Amino acid sequence: MQHKKLIWVVLLAGLALIGIVLTQTYWAVRSIRYQTIQFDNQVSLLLKGMVNRLYDLNGESLSLPTYCLDTAEDESQLFLNAKLAQILDSLLLVESAECGLPQDFEYLVFTRDQKLLFGKVKTDTNAIMASQFVVPITCIHKGGGILLAVNFPEKDHWIFEKLIGWIFLSVVLILLMLWAFYYIISMYFSQKKLSDMKADFVSNMTHELKTPIATISLSSEMLLKASVYNNPEKVKKYAALIFGENDRLKRQVEDVLQVASFEHGKISLKKEQINIDALLTHLWEIFHVYVEERSGIFQTRKLCSAETIFADYHHFTNLLSNLIDNAIKYSNERPQIRLEVKNYRKDEKDGLIFLVEDNGPGIPHRYQSLLFEKFYRIPTGDRHDVKGHGLGLYYVKMIAEAHGFKVWFKSQESKGTTFYVFVPTNHEIR
């Protein structure tokens, strides 16, 4: 039900955004058209003003007897007059300034049979003569045989510059709305994913706690029976079960508490020199039993000259233990686990690399980017044959980063997974 509501909300919000974008685009286009019409009207006023000023100047500044000709025979002779050409140029500058038009214009004076007489041209003369801004200069030629054409090559640029502020603001607001919409939707799915992961964590944690609690409950119940004390071996067995399951509960609670501490930036590291050989031996003694129970092999190898590393013994041992534990849990029926330490160079830094390799089914590519996230576990449906609560690899990442180490992995489906922990030499490797 909530999923359907979300779909409707997203659709309505998307339609609203599309409507806003279309409305803004519509008004931007309308503004450009309005500015174009206004520009054209201003040019028309410029031409009318130009003709009026020529009439006013007739007989004053020009004082030419040929100023108002009736025939077209002397048109060329008239426009060879430098004074008249200078006046036309000046009048166009004055009129364009008064009309608020750009000064970068071109004009052309020509006859009706398209004979060029005078002008200031930067582009194609045919395009100027075909311009919509053409007016007959009747005060020069009463028959209207002489025409004045004006063109503004930077017209579109000039209009765009006038509107650039509003267009830019509209684009920014639209982009902000789109970003806000995307952010809200992504936050929703992020929170939903986190909620699902927490639900899985609670489910897995409940399952993980039930087993030791049930074992402790059953063993305690057996110890309450008087008959059991006649068999010391059974008492010892039940006591050992209670002790072991209690230790398991303790470690699970510590994992959760440690992660909570990481969230508040309270990682406390007690660094010391850790002997690499002793560390590998310790880990082998812990895990080889579990591997051999499944007819597998657990190998440890030291292929470096360094004897120690500088790290928190407890946390670094747990880091490697988590990787080995995952390798065993996710391996095939006969686990082939390899823990190896060797010299390595990464990002132009020398150091050691600890690798944990398994022969498991590998990690599907679509899940690999999420592997170190808190509470995340690769989906297995309702299966509980692989125990865990989604904190192990998150813990590994937090501890590695707290030490300044690098952790990553390589995995191929059906070919297994290898985790790497890089310890640079600036961490007092000896």
Q: What is the pLDDT of residues 37-65, one digit of tens each?
A: 888 888 888 888 877 777 776 555 444 43
> How many contiguous H segments (helices) and E segments (strands) does the chain have?
10, 11
**pLDDT, the chain, mean:** 79
How many residues does this entry show for the chain? 430
Question: Is the per-residue pLDDT at 140 higher than 50?
Answer: yes
Confidence at residue 67, expressed as pLDDT on a 0 to 100 scale? 40
Give CA–CA dist 190/186, Å, rounded: 6
The mean per-residue pLDDT over the stretch 235-246 comes to 80
User: Mean pLDDT: which of 2-6, 109-113, 226-230, 353-357 is highest?
Assistant: 353-357
Domains defined along the chain, listed by start: 2-153 (no CATH), 159-263 (1.10.287.130), 271-427 (3.30.565.10)
Reference 420, options 345, 360, 369, 354; nearest CA is 354
Residues forming a β-bridge with 409: 419
Confidence at residue 63, expressed as pLDDT on a 0 to 100 scale? 45
Residues forming a β-bridge with 312: 271
Between the CA of residue 252 and those of 198, 204, 281, 371, what are the distances in Å?
16, 12, 24, 20
Confidence at residue 75, expressed as pLDDT on a 0 to 100 scale? 46
Judged by average pLDDT, the poorest of 54-68, 231-245, 348-362 is: 54-68
User: Mean pLDDT: which of 118-132, 142-156, 341-355 is highest?
Assistant: 341-355
CA 129 to chain CA centroid, Å, is 53
Tokens describing residue 230 = 């006649």
DSSP annotation of 69 reads B
351 confidence band (pLDDT: 50, 70, 90): very high
Interior CA angle at 267 toward 266 and 268, to 5°?
A: 105
The mean per-residue pLDDT over the stretch 240-266 comes to 71
173 confidence band (pLDDT: 50, 70, 90): confident
Reference 137, options 73, 42, 47; nearest CA is 47
Which is more confidently placed, 249 or 295?
295
Strands (E), 65-145: 106-111, 116-120, 134-136
The mean per-residue pLDDT over the stretch 361-371 comes to 85
The mean per-residue pLDDT over the stretch 355-375 comes to 85
CB 335 within 8 Å of CB 294: yes
DSSP annotation of 102 reads -
The type of residue at 182 is: Y
108 confidence band (pLDDT: 50, 70, 90): confident
Give CA–CA dist 294/333, Å, rounded: 7
Give CA–CA dist 19/17, Å, rounded: 5
Confidence at residue 69, expressed as pLDDT on a 0 to 100 scale? 42
